Amino acid sequence: MSLLTGQPQAHHATQIGMDVRGPLICAPESIRTVFIVTLAAASAPLCAGIVLFGWRAAVVAAICIGSCANIERLYYRVTRMPALMGRSHAYLTGVLLALTLPPTAPWYVPVVASAFAIIVGKAVFGGVGHFLWQPALVGRLAAAVLFAGAMNPEYWPVLAQDRLLWGDADKGRIVDDWRKWHGSCAPENADAFVSRRSDVVLSGLRPSKASYSALAYLPPPNELPKAPPAALGQLPSMGEMLMGTVPGNIGETCAIVIVVAGLYLIYRNYLKWQLPVAVLCSAAAVAAAAPVYLAGPDDVAIEVWWPVLHQEGEVALTYVMYRLLSGGIVLSAFFLAGESTSRPTGAGGQVIFGAGIGSLAMLLQLYVNTPIPAFMAVLAMNTLTPALDSLWRPRVLGRRRFEFLRRK
């Protein structure tokens, strides 16, 4: 049993002539504490999502948590393996999965996603502590592939201000040029406003010839926006982006709550500050630098690198913030990328990991038509975790810097 317990066995002691005991006192935090505190932090954006998207979000979350816990129990019963960690990690996976699902998902979507998360994402690797990809995102990716229609609707709901928490997100009215959530009243026979997602609206600034020809419909040059403010005018205000009253998945819209909950995780030492900072900074840098297509003089589409430099400061800042706050980048930075098993352990490795996630997510959001750009970026970088772990190691006490490069 020493593979798991790590207690040196008696016959070792006789061979080397001593019996070492470790410290008899230990820190109060166990793995269970870690999972439960992370779960509590992750339920803050979930509560915000339930308030913003109504009881349907609560139902999706309940199905996620319940099916995650039960599928894990079933798996361990069928395979007759001992369930080592209790069920706290299954609950955590369920909450994280609920954060990434749209509020209007039909009931079978969270069930199937949970099954993929628990079995494919976690159990086949050997359970807690052994998986390579973040399980909740494995489930989300399976849902995005299997139920592409249901998971990627063109129009997404937000409850009106007087129907928060109790409204039905499915009863909505389409408002295309709707910008002021604050102070709004619910339309007749409906609880929600339905509009396109902000990143889809922003892709009115469709960039890059390659993505036009390969993936998307290329509008004639006279339909291209004249300048970023034309597209920005169709978006909700910055305050509403931060508060989360914009269309999106359950947990990814309310940036303020996500950041506060993430800061609590950083305070508890469950998350290194370098990781979210690297994600957000690299995403902002890519958004600031990556080219977009604008209508030039004589209605010819021109490619513009460094779009932020072509506008005055306020518009440029707004553009970068919109890019950052849409598409789940903030949620990935603070919760999904920081899952303790599937990220590199060292601070240096985490900076590279976070920079990869941020830039990849922003590139996917800009140039590839995918509903889950940030989640796919996290999964892609999770694959590189073992390599990043061995790439970056702190210098051991008593060794010179770059000693491995010196000749022996």
Site residues (vs another protein, CB under 8 A): 1-9, 11-12, 15-27, 29-31, 33-34, 84-85, 126-130, 269-270, 340-341, 345-346, 393-399
Contact call for residues 336 and 134 (beta carbons, < 8 A): yes
Least gap, CB of 277 to another protein (angstroms): 17
The answer to whether 208 and 293 have CB atoms below 8 angstroms apart is yes
Token pair of 212, please? Answer: 């036009």
Give which of 267, 326, 275, 252 is closest to 45, Cα–Cα.
252
Comparing CB distances to another protein, the nearer of 21 and 180 is 21
Nearer to another protein, 106 or 129 (CB): 129
Residue 119 CB, nearest approach to another protein (Å):
18
Contact present, 170 and 150 (Cβ < 8 Å): no
Minimum CB separation from another protein for residue 374, in Å?
A: 22
Residue type, 142: A
Amino acid sitting at position 237 = S
Q: 132, 35, 114: which is closest to 72 by C-alpha?
A: 114
Task: Give backbone dihedrals phi and psi of 133, rounded to 5 degrees, phi first.
Answer: -105, 145
The token pair at 94 is: 């369920």
Please name the residue that has the structure tokens 């996976």. Answer: 93
Q: How many alpha carbons lie under 13 Å from residue 356 in its C-beta half-sphere?
A: 20
Q: Measured from the CB of residue 264, what is the shortest distance to another protein in angstroms?
A: 16
Question: At its nearest, how many Å lie between another protein and the CB of residue 114?
Answer: 21
Q: At its nearest, how many Å lie between another protein and the CB of residue 271?
A: 10
Rounded distance between C-alpha atoms, residue 130 and residue 185, angstroms: 49
Which residues partner with 174 through β-bridges?
194
Nearer to another protein, 208 or 340 (CB): 340
User: How would DSSP label each residue in 345-360?
Assistant: SSHHHHHHHHHHHHHH
**Which phi and psi angles does 50 have, rounded to 5°?**
-65, -40
Decide whether 1 or 185 has the Cβ nearer to another protein: 1
CA-nearest of 44, 56, 83, 49 to 250 is: 49
Burial of 166 (0-12, 13-18, 19+ CB in 10 A): exposed
> Considering the complex, what minimum distance in angstroms separates the CB of residue 355 from another protein?
18
Angle between helices 135-146 and 88-100 (to 10 degrees): 40
Question: In the bound complex, what is the minimum distance in angstroms from residue 74's beta carbon to another protein?
Answer: 20
Whose Cβ is closer to another protein: residue 17's or residue 183's? 17
Q: How far is the CB of 35 from another protein (least distance, A)?
A: 9
Complex with another protein: residue 25 or 185, whichever CB lies closer:
25
Q: Which residue, 35 or 367, has its beta carbon nearer to another protein?
A: 35
* Nearest to another protein of 41, 128 (CB atom): 128
Instruction: Cite the beta strand spans of 39-169 per DSSP E.
Output: 156-159
Of 254 and 265, the one with the shorter C-beta distance to another protein is 265
